[in-house]
Amino acid sequence: MDKAPPEIKFKKAVVPLGGVHCASCVARLEKGLGSLPGMARVSVNLSSKTAFLSYDPSLLDAKNISARIVKLGYKALGFSESAAAAEKTAREGLAREEKIFFARFLLGFFLSAFLLLDYAVGFSSYTMMAAAALAWGVAGWNFHSGFLRALKARTADMNSLVSLSSSVTFFYGVYVTLNPPSDYTHYHAQWHEVAILITFINFGRWMEARSKGKAGEAVANLFRIAPKFARRLAGGREETVPVADIVPGDLVVLRPGEQVPVDGEVRSGVSAVDESLLTGEAVPADKGAGSKVYAGTVNKTGSLEFEAVGVGDDTVLMKIVKAVEESQAEKGSVQHLVDRISAWFVPAVFLAAVVSAGLWLHYSGPVMAVNIFTAVLVVACPCAMGLAVPMAVAAGFGRAAEAGILIRDPDVLERVSGLDVVIFDKTGTLTEGRLRISSLSPHETGEREFLGLLAAAEERSEHPFAQAVRERAAAEGIKAGGITSFEAFPGKGVKAVADKGEVISGSLKWFGELGIEIPEAPRLEIAASPYSMLLLALDGRFKGYACLADALRPEAADIVRELGAMGIESVLVSGDREAAVAEVAGAVGIKTFHAEVFPDEKRQLVMRYKALGRKTAMVGDGFNDAPALSEADMGMAMHSGTDVAAQASDITLMRSDLRSVITAIRIAKAIKKIINQNLAWAFVYNAALIPMAAGALYPVWGLVIPPYFAGGAMALSSVSVAMNSLRLRRFKFRAM
């Protein structure tokens, strides 16, 4: 028999980049890196100038990838599997770029001012040429070097447009200065045009770099939260070491007022820890032996000694940051469309400039042709189009992360418009999920034996019901018997083989499907009770039931009312019995509810609403919610739930507060609105100004755009998109 091919274990890497300025750069990098053998995924984030890679380490390594980046005309500023290290390098690169563009802007500004003095002073042509050469060659060097790299890679980008336009104007000026026309006595070859053009574009690049830095501040702040040092206990002595030196298994001492340096499990001590960073809960969480502690949270009162479990990128805090960065780099359908347009934009603009200049050379002469060629190349702005989506996503996703909302799929922004139904799971979503057993009703067995069998059945289950059983058993000193096999049936219950036989624990509906007979008296009691139920059977014989109580989230009713005010219908769905579901629905004001629904039936319910033309969101927390979360137009998973639910959702709500549902919907709509505004501005700007720069209005109204005006308009276009996106940093999370 043929052996199955070995499973490929892809490695992930984050690469900060230098020299990336527009959508054409992004397209070139993604295409060039994506063609490498063994490269599984490439996503370049223009806003943070970072590439997120997934590759086969048996075919590729950092050296191969970095070499390809250089060959494409860019710089690999680092190569790391650590999100923290890559983020630090990327931000240093942005800060360095901001300083360089500001210095070149200042140089261009002073040279432009000097050249304009010619109108009052009257400099010689060679003095003017020397000043313009400094502006063109020094202040504009970043554009020329970018053009040379693009030329080497046989492609074109925004640097190509700026370099070509300024170079044509400059060298034409050199030509007419060395060979002055006989009919011009004081012709300065428009030297000030060259300097002002370079100055305006450097100003735009400087403002753009500042905006990119601000857009990434939310993620950078999360990195800064992580503590830098820890108290490690070794050989009975405390030593202060960098957090990077802590490894799993190390014992760490935590004193009052200190930040938790790494994720861990408490070995000794009692304290209260402020976990609002991760959970949003204002009340500190009590910690004792066996409790989990998380990096970045703050110890309030007592001292703790804990064992390091998750360090570096394996801490919950770093996983959140990494998830935000990766989601910012993911591209939705709109971004893919913009990328395809941008790939053809630069060649199309160059063709338009050549054709326009040729026509004006024929009808007017070289001076007008040079001005038209320069203006068309400069006024076209692929930067504005390229920044329209990633800048809004970076600012919006970062702002959402500050509120504990991780938007995992950018395409959800396309689906949030017109949302009119939100389907809520019950347990752990509308209720707190902190179930407790309110009563035990054993049948033909003792209470302790009943609880022991129930504990054995639920020992390996992740369901909130199971946690309630384990807590009750532990409180009464009952240990679960040995289990030889276990099987979970999502939405139904569990089966386990214990010392005394096959134990089945689950819902009334499932017991009916299995043909387990329930005596009339317990059946009537179960039907009349408003509580959630957990039935138990041993070797196919009914052994009783447990009643479980759960408290409603205090904000649940307000959330339903708020959604109603937004024109969104709330629906409740649960695998629980109808009486229990009806009581919760009535308490929070939900009119439509569905009880005793299995996981696939939840998915079918979502599909039914979608088939009716309703835009549907699903909010859940459990394994049994995953199919519905995946099917919904907008799936939102409570972080308190399972990893499976979080992976299936579009949005993860990190805080155990239903108000996050409203906030997630509002900020997703706000990001979508900003993206639409950015794209509209970028396309209208190019559609209006390119024909004007080409001289289309000159024969009728005598209007034509001078090159320096084109440079200013180009800078304004990029800056306006960036500044509009930064409005999301001020998005208000309304209290209810």
Exposure string for 176-187, b = 16+ CB within 10 A, e = fewer = bbeeeeeeeeee
- Distance of alpha carbon 420 from alpha carbon 600, whole angstroms: 22
Q: What is the DSSP-derived secondary structure letter of residue 410?
A: T
Higher pLDDT, 645 or 275: 275
Q: Is the pLDDT confidence value at 153 over 50?
A: yes
Task: Average the pLDDT over 354-364 and give the result.
Answer: 86
Q: In the structure, what pLDDT confidence band is assigned to residue 461 with cuts at 50, 70 and 90?
A: confident
For the chain, the structural domain boundaries read 11-91, 227-314, 412-431+552-649, 436-549
Q: Which residue has the tokens 């034409």?
A: 172
pLDDT tens for each residue of 287-330: 888 888 888 888 887 888 999 998 887 787 777 776 666 665 56
In this predicted structure, which of 253-267, 504-518, 702-716 has the lowest mean pLDDT?
A: 702-716
382 pLDDT band, cuts 50/70/90, is low
Of residues 304 and 656, the one with the higher pLDDT is 304
Question: Regarding predicted confidence, which is higher, 689 or 624?
Answer: 689
Pull the structure tokens for residue 151: 């030329």
The confidence band for 644, taking pLDDT boundaries of 50, 70 and 90, is: very low
- pLDDT of residue 649 exceeding 80, the answer is no
Q: What DSSP designation does 715 have?
A: H
Q: What is the pLDDT of residues 586-610, one digit of tens each?
A: 989 999 999 888 777 888 898 899 8
In this predicted structure, what is the pLDDT of residue 212?
A: 63
Is 436-549 a domain of CATH 3.40.50.300?
A: no
pLDDT at residue 222, rounded to an integer: 62
To 10 degrees, the CA torsion angle through 270, 272, 277, 283? Answer: 150
Is 2.70.150.10 the CATH number for 227-314?
yes
Q: Quick one: average pLDDT of 466-476?
A: 86
Range scoring the smallest mean pLDDT among 118-127, 243-252, 633-642: 633-642
Average pLDDT, the chain: 81
pLDDT digits (tens, 9 = 90+) for 521-547: 888 888 878 777 889 999 999 999 998
Strand order in the sheet with 251-254: 237-242, 229-234, 251-254, 304-310, 263-269, 292-293
Reported as a pLDDT band with limits 50, 70 and 90, residue 685 is confident
Lowest mean pLDDT among 293-297, 360-364, 642-646: 642-646
Question: Which CATH superfamily is 412-431+552-649 part of?
Answer: HAD superfamily/HAD-like (3.40.50.1000)
Q: Is pLDDT above 90 for 562?
A: yes
* Higher-pLDDT residue of 268, 301: 268
Q: How confident is the model at residue 736 (pLDDT cuts 50, 70, 90)?
A: very low
Residue 438 CB-density burial (10 A; 0-12 exposed, 13-18 middle, 19+ buried): middle
pLDDT at 418 over 60: yes
pLDDT at 1 over 60: no
Given 3.20.20.80, 3.40.1080.20, 3.30.70.100, 3.60.21.10, which CATH number is that of 11-91? Answer: 3.30.70.100
Top-ranked range on mean pLDDT: pick from 159-163, 186-190, 239-243: 239-243
The answer on pLDDT for 4 being more than 50 is no
Band (pLDDT 50/70/90 cuts) for residue 187 is very low
> Quick one: pLDDT at residue 366?
81
Strand partners, 11: 55
CA distance 403 to 279: 10
Q: Indicate if the pLDDT at residue 705 is higher than 70.
A: yes
| Active-site residue list | 425
Residue 448 phi/psi, 5-degree rounding, is -70, -40
pLDDT digits (tens, 9 = 90+) for 31-66: 888 888 888 888 887 777 888 888 888 888 888 888
**271-274/405-407 β-pairing:** unpaired
Residue 709 and residue 721: Cα distance in Å, rounded?
18
pLDDT at res. 223: 62
Quick one: pLDDT at residue 82?
65
